[in-house]
Amino acid sequence: MNVFKEEQGFKQIWIQVILIITSVITVVLIANKWAAASDQNISAHVSSIFTLCSLLLVHVLFHFAKLTTRIDEKGIQYQFFPFHFSMRKIPWTEVSEVKIRNYNPIGEYGGWGLRYTFSKKRGNAVNVCGDIGIQIEFTNGKKLLIGTQKKEEAQRVLETYKSEI
């Protein structure tokens, strides 16, 4: 039995740098706002607390977000936690074509993450980094691209299950 497994997260340095810079700027601006606000200006404090909570939520999402992919004799499964709480299953009977391809994340899908498009030609994407993906075309004509960092391993396992399609 040939199985492909992969877990990816938003661990790129440039993402961490952007999060840190925006956090520092936000905290400095809020600290200045609190220093200038009177103790009786409750709305300034409430909006500041809301902003800090939102900032914390963004950090938590980036820290815990994880794309898990599995390819086996049953089909292709993927999960983009925390947006999917369980694996999404694609049985081989629903796949008309599958291949590994290079793509332009920003040009084709508008970036990384859980990406929905209205383009039937491109379809949707689930990715966290890079520009290599597992392109799936369903029997109903829809498409899905799942990002991968293990091109050769995914290609090898997909070749094993070509007869299932």
3-state secondary structure the chain: CCCEEEEEECCCHHHHHHHHHHHHHHHHHHHHHHHHCCCCCHHHHHHHHHHHHHHHHHHHHHHHCEEEEEEECCEEEEEEECCCCCCEEEEHHHEEEEEEEECCHHHHHCCCEEECCCCCCCCEEEECCCCEEEEEEECCCCEEEEECCCHHHHHHHHHHCHHHC
Structural domain span for residue 130: 1-165
Model pLDDT, residue 61: 85
Model pLDDT, residue 38: 63
**Which segments of the chain have a pLDDT < 70?**
37-41, 44
Pairing relation of β-strands 4-9 and 113-115?
A: unpaired
State the total domains in the chain: 1
pTM of the model: 0.81
